[in-house]
């Protein structure tokens, strides 16, 4: 029986750029970016920041969807990576502190389906947006979506977790993962904190590393 599971962040990891940040850059006042900086400086929690940022959006859903599909793309190699996980019978779960509606649109546009996605909901009334936080368990209060709670639950079931991420909300799960792939600000933070990780630019990089490292632990299912 396979005992590995892959958990991946979405924004900035599977898609480029961050889908929420892209919409904020197009349809929110510039103060949204100051909130992001305040999170990294430790002045406010990511949980507070994200709810406030989403409330700044002034855009209808049709306008937002059109902009999203024009300005945000799936990272190179992800579709092939999804097929690789299915051939290897390794579960792949998206753990996101972003919006489920944006994730669904981008995956569908790329022809990717049937992935488990854990993310926030949204209420849109005209051009006003209100965050509906993910209802799952949380181990700590600072993140809007506690990804660590998911990792802990998987590990309690005896699964080993491969985690893939890029930014602030991936810091906590990066310390819990059994194997870590990091890029961008997460990689920089891991280097400073001496957290071991594999770097990547594309999902072909992730696949090649897993093929090399896990040859003896993840095997093709018998025909």
| Structural domains of the chain ordered from first start | 4-213 (3.40.50.1000)
Q: Give the span between the Cα atoms of 175 and 191, in whole angstroms.
A: 12
> CA 108 → CA 79, 95, 111, distances in Å?
11, 17, 5
Q: Give, for all 223 residues of the chain, the pLDDT tens digit.
A: 469 999 999 999 999 999 999 999 999 999 999 999 999 899 999 999 999 999 999 999 999 999 999 999 999 999 999 999 999 999 999 999 999 999 999 999 999 999 999 999 999 999 999 999 999 999 988 899 999 999 999 999 999 999 999 999 999 999 999 999 999 999 999 999 999 999 999 999 999 999 988 765 555 444 3
Q: What is the pairing mode between strands 15-16 and 73-74?
A: antiparallel
- Residue recorded with tokens 């024009």: 70
Q: Give the span between the Cα atoms of 47 and 126, in whole angstroms.
A: 24
Please state whether the peptide bond connecting residue 17 to the residue before it is cis, i.e. omega within 30 degrees of 0: yes
């Amino acid at each position: 029986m396979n005992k590995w599971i892959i958990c991946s962040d979405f924004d900035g990891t599977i898609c480029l750029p961050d889908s929420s940040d892209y919409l904020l850059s197009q349809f929110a006042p510039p103060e949204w970016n100051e909130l992001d900086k305040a999170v990294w400086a430790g002045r406010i929690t990511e949980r507070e920041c994200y709810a406030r940022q989403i409330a700044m959006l002034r855009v209808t859903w049709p306008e937002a969807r059109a902009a999203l599909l024009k300005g945000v793309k799936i990272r190179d190699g992800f579709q092939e990576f999804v097929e690789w996980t299915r051939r290897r019978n390794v579960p792949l779960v998206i753990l996101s502190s972003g919006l489920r509606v944006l994730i669904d649109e981008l995956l569908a546009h790329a022809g990717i389906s049937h992935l488990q996605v854990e993310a926030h909901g949204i209420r849109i009334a005209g051009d006003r947006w209100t965050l509906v936080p993910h209802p799952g368990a949380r181990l700590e209060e600072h993140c809007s979506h506690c990804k660590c709670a998911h990792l802990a639950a998987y590990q309690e079931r005896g699964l080993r977790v491969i985690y893939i991420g890029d930014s602030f909300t991936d810091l906590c799960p990066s310390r819990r993962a059994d194997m870590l792939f990091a890029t961008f600000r997460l990689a920089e933070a891991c280097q400073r904190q001496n957290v071991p990780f594999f770097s990547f630019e594309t999902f072909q990089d992730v696949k090649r590393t897993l093929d090399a490292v896990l040859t003896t632990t993840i095997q093709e299912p018998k025909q």
